[in-house]
Amino acid sequence: MPNGMDFPTRQPTGRFTNGRTIADILGQELGLENFTPPYMAPTTVGPAVLQGVNYASGAGGILSHTGNAFGGRIHLDAQIDNFAHTREYVISSLGMPAALSLLRSALFSVVIGSNDLINNYLTPVVSVPERAVVSPEEFVEAMISKYRMQLMRLYLLGARKIIVANVGPIGCIPYERDTNPSAGSNCVEFPNQMAQSYNKRLKDLVLELRSNLEGALIVYADVYRIVADIIQNHKNYGFEVADFACCFLTGRFGGLVPCGPTSKVCPDRSKYVFWDPYHPTDAANIVIARRLLDGDLNDIFPMNVRQLVGA
């Protein structure tokens, strides 16, 4: 399986990329000695959880029915349930005051929403009946009102420093390019417009929660802006290919079949922005992570990750 081929262990780890995710790289840059272990791993028990836990799930979404074609995935409500279990352990082992103090200083990274669009509202054929009755605006509002409750629940469980990433330019991923051939060699407009209208509402939500929740340090990470810049100016970042998947099987952009055991893999992963039909390479994730870490207010608002850690 090509996934994880450039990860330190050289094997699939549940990450949909050739190497590290953005969260992995942020952790390394901030001095974590190990990658944050997955919640579901049998070894993620006891004192290990005090160093942080990864609750992410492939195909998971804000809305609970997102990605149901992919079977076993953990949507955001269930991810927060899992965090609540970890929190109980932290309280029982450290006592309430120390546990709440640990949670207040901990960094929470919430990167979600793309699947709600790609594998829900925008899914070819399957979504046609829903799109006939639910407008893009209504769908975005449903996402935002659900997400509001989820972020408030995280806050009530003790989270204070929360990075909220917006949805990237999904109309530029190889999968959308291949399933919308009329766009030619351009990014597909409708998915990008939908991402932008969601992102606008998400920024409003972050500002609303910052002003309403006492002590909440919620930052808005403009991943859309960063990734659009990488794609548009890919040569400046040392990339050669910004539209084709490095791990591919078929399609003009290699975007029709997920990366798997029968896929072909490009020889130099560092020259590609996209690893597979949907996800960036380790090389692209490095650029994104560094801009979230040290970027200006256009990249991440109202402070970057390094400032948030110190806050």
CB contact at 8 A, 19 and 6? yes
Q: What is the β-pairing status of strands 264-265 and 161-165?
A: unpaired
Mean pLDDT of the chain: 96
pLDDT tens by residue, 206-240? 999 999 999 999 999 999 999 999 999 999 999 99
pLDDT tens by residue, 274-296? 999 999 999 999 999 999 999 99
- Determine the 3-state secondary structure of 195 from DSSP: helix
CB contact at 8 A, 281 and 24? no
Beta strands (DSSP E) in 201-254 are 217-221, 247-248
Q: What is the DSSP letter of 35?
A: P
Q: What is the mean pLDDT of residues 144-171?
A: 98
From the CB of residue 295, how many other CB atoms can be counted at a distance below 10 Å? 20
pLDDT tens by residue, 94-131? 999 999 999 999 999 999 999 999 999 999 888 989 99
